[in-house]
Amino acid sequence: MAAKNEGRPARVGLDVPEGVRHFATNRDREILAAIDETGNAVAAAQKLGMAHQNVYRALANLRTRAERAGWREEGELPVRPGEKRAEGGRVVPLSEDERKFHEDWGPAECIAELRRIAEIDPDKVISRNYFRVHSDISESTWNRYFGTFHEFKRQAGIVLSRHAHRLERSIAKHASVDILKGFNDQKRQYAGRYLKAAGKHQTILAASDIHDEECDPFFRRLFLEAARRAQPDRIVLGGDIYDLPEFGKYGVDPREWNPVRRIRWVLAFIADLRAAAPNAQIDLVEGNHEYRLLRHLSEATPALKVVLSDLHGMTIPGLLGLDAYEVNYIAPADLRAFSERDIQREVSQNFLLIEDALLCHHFPKGREMGVPGWNGHHHRHLVWTQYSPTFGAFEWHQLGCGHVRRASYTDGRFWTNGFLIAHLNTATKRSTFEYVEIGDHAVLGGEFYERRPDEWPGPEAHVHRKEQPDA
């Protein structure tokens, strides 16, 4: 038999000292209780429904844990500075009062003691230190059952249970966006406020992703020139006329904040657009940047206080020039969204359907709707040919942007600049498109336009700037 056991790890004795038992987990206590009852590791294992090797392994781990904590079988070790030892050599925290340790107390007794202390002064916030000083039990009495003091208070009903806390947070989350309902109502009133009559044949001038003062100056000049020359029935701005990184998800140094300047840029642009085409219907489809701006406006966030202090409390119509320049604002999206996914889903509800025959959408999702049209958002011109029984073979355009072809948060070199001129026969529901690409030059209505030296953005300016010819 001895040869059979040769080479196996030595088994831990079943006589477990009281000092070691102090470090037992709940499972260890079950094993020790079974051993005390049966006096035999094998019988204890059978009683617990486990392998007897696991019983010995648990006892060995318990002893190792106790020794690492400072317990020693023989003699009491000297107390080091900043250290306190209990009977048996166990290291205990300085906050532990061994005189208050109650080995025989269970969870119910601990909870009763905590509730007793709490009821002495109902207005007092019971902290761990307060309970340690004023209660009749040590920390080791209760933390072997509850772990943390917060869980101890939760089990005692002094703080909210996890379920009640989740419910409270859910209520608070919804209450926090109640104020946004009024803003929803305000912006939705402008969906068709400034409609203008149009004939059988309509010309629509469309752009997307202008991004306020990040706009390419050559793009701006050509877009206004197209409005002046074409005198379109509609001008459709497909979202993100604002950039406002102060309110966006991309970081911006607060020392460089100047939202007021950006807002004034947009208002000046819309004013120039209205002057260029005084009889056109102007429609602005809400993009994700306008959506975030209105969220900040409704919540009066710190970033927007800069705006409110300088522009004296602008409203939605004021920020977007809706009344001043007779602009329709297409924005059914609910501002009461919580996550980025919720926001994108809501902004996807923002689209403009023109005469049931043309569609403007901020996201590529519009391409799935089976109607000719265009989207923005991705700053890159792409074209798809599709077919439907209603419209026959038709085109869907993803527009380039007005934003200069660079940005700190992505590689703008892959972007393209440009805008769209659409022609619609409302009787047949058929349409044609002219896409105007903006590069170092552009062709608009058969006329050649070249980028001026002062219209090269940023770092490119010194490369392309030429001396002006002598007068």
The DSSP line for 335-381 is S---SHHHHHHHHTT-EEEETTTEEEESSGGGGGGSSSEEE-SS-S-
pTM for the complete prediction? 0.64
Strand locations in 326-371 (E): 327-330, 351-354, 358-361
Q: Could you count the other beta carbons within 10 Å of the beta carbon of residue 213?
A: 18
**DSSP label of 158:** S
- Quote the CA–CA distance of 137 and 333 in Å, as a whole number: 57
Instruction: Tell me if 53 sits within 8 A of 11, measured CB to CB.
Output: no
Helix (H) or strand (E) holding 446: none
Beta strand ranges found along 60-109 (DSSP E): 84-85, 91-92
Which residues share a beta bridge with 401? 417
Tell me, what's the pLDDT at 40? 82
- Measured from the Cβ of residue 62, the count of other Cβ atoms closer than 10 Å reads 22
Average pLDDT, 10 consecutive residues per value, the chain (471 residues): 41 66 83 86 87 86 77 52 51 62 89 92 88 87 88 88 75 69 88 93 97 95 98 97 70 62 92 97 95 76 53 72 96 86 90 96 95 96 95 96 84 91 96 96 96 80 44 35
- Rounded Cα–Cα distance for residues 398 and 409 (Å): 21
CA distance 133 to 340: 47
Unique residue bearing structure tokens 């379920």: 163
Residue found under tokens 């934003």: 403
How far apart are the C-alpha atoms of 402 and 438, rounded to whole Å?
9
| Whole-number CA gyration radius for the chain | 37
Q: How far is CA 26 from CA 29, 30, 31, 163, in A?
A: 5, 6, 9, 25
Q: How far apart are CA 102 and CA 50, in angstroms?
A: 31
Helix 259-276 / helix 217-230 crossing angle, nearest 10 deg = 30
Task: Return the pLDDT at 263.
Answer: 87
Place of tokens 């608009």: 444
Distance, CA of 281 to CA of 279 (rounded, Å)? 7
CB distance 415 to 391 below 8 Å: no
Phi/psi of residue 425, each to 5°?
Answer: -95, 105
Reported CATH class of domain 182-464: alpha beta
Domain boundaries, the chain: 8-84+86-92, 102-159, 182-464
Helices 41-48 and 52-68 pack at an angle, to 10 degrees, of 110
